[in-house]
Structure 1
Amino acid sequence: MSIREAKARKTISLQTLTDLTPDAIREISGALNILLADVFGLYLKTKNFHWHVSGPHFRDYHLLLDEQGDKIFATTDAIAERVRKIGGTTLRSIGHIGRLQRILDNDADFVTPMDMLAELRGDNRQITAAMRETHGLCDEYGDVATASLLENWIDEAERRTWFLFEATRRGDG
């Protein structure tokens, strides 16, 4: 079997039956893959901060970030499986994630707990905005199932943002 035949056979074996148009599959899958790369970036940053948080509120922040990391990671499989359900293909490597990811890494040797929480708050807001944009794309193509999933993921991201906001408030005001 030639390489061309092998590629053709592999492509055929990954096709999924769907009533979405090829344009819809391409555009929605593309948006979901970018979102997935961002979610992986957010997950790893959340775990990084979970592992490296210190200070007087260590236990509270450590547990908060662990809980948030678990929920973020759970979203990754659902996003990737949705891409496959609609007939697309999804991320294949760390390099692929790196090429698509818009959430900035933080490789600093030390980050204060307040800066960690503020950075994650901003990243979760960025993810929420990306999810809303993807939801709009799904609406354009009539992909109500992906839109419905996005609504739940938006709610989860907003909850994380809220918790991070409240954890960084100073005083009673």
Structure 2
Amino acid sequence: MNFLTKDQINKIANILKQLLADETILYLKTRNAHWNVEGPDFQTAHVYFETQYNELQLIIDEVAEKIRTKDVYAPATMSEYLQLTHLQENKIEEYNSLSFMKELLNDYEIIIAFLNESIKEIEDLNDVSTSDYLVGLLEQHQKTAWMLRSHLK
């Protein structure tokens, strides 16, 4: 039995759609870093970015499935993602690990801010399971942001 109204479900699904777009763009930007990183730390950075995009791939699937549990279709085209995302597609000037990490850290911080806002909004809509899921995702992204920030010091 569903205790959420159609309006509540649509609001939650719209938040999740934006999150899916953000995670997908972040995934592609992380793939770009993995493919194109250069420099003396190439091997370490290449493997690190691979670990990150593998984690993001799982997150993308989970978010899309979370949308589907609301009986709403998940967006699945780049044009939709580009309309929904909070992230920017910036041209990287230097293909070294620090440049990529700065760019990705900025993106993680944007998603962290969005998650913080969204958790409060979804809690107000009384969707405990989605709120709980987003709290776990927030913690995961905060840890990745910390690692990126630590590397940049």
Give TM-score, length-normalised by structure 1. Answer: 0.83
Match of 2:99 in 1: 115
Q: How many residues align?
A: 153
Residues 101-143 of structure 1: CA distance to partner in whole angstroms, max 9, x if unpaired?
2211134464332111111111111111111111111101110
User: Could you list the runs of 4 or more consecutive aligned residues of structure 1 that deviate by over 6 angstroms after TM superposition?
Assistant: none
The equivalent residue for 1:79 is: 63
Q: What pairs with 1:12-91 in structure 2 (closer than 5 Å)? A: 18-91=2-75
Give the partner amino acid of 1:27: K
Please tell me the root mean square deviation across aligned C-alpha atoms, in Å. 1.4
| Unaligned ranges ≥5, structure 1 | 1-16
SS of residue in 2 equivalent to 1:142: coil
- Letter of the 2:122 counterpart: C
Residue 129 of structure 2: aligned partner: 145
Partners of 2:86 and 2:110 within 8 A in 1: no
Of all paired residues, the percent bearing the same amino acid is 27
Structure 2, gaps ≥5 residues long: none
Q: 1:78 corresponds to which letter in structure 2?
A: E
How far apart are the structure 2 equivalents of 1:165 and 1:19? 41
Q: Counterpart of 1:134?
A: 118
* Paired residues of 2:92 and 2:100 also in contact (CA < 8 A): no
Secondary structure at the aligned position of 1:105 is classed as coil
The residue number in structure 1 matching 2:82 is 98
Is the radius of gyration larger for structure 1 or structure 2? 1
SS state of the match for residue 63, structure 1?
Answer: helix
Give the whole-Å Cα distance in 1 for the aligned partners of 2:92 and 2:138: 29
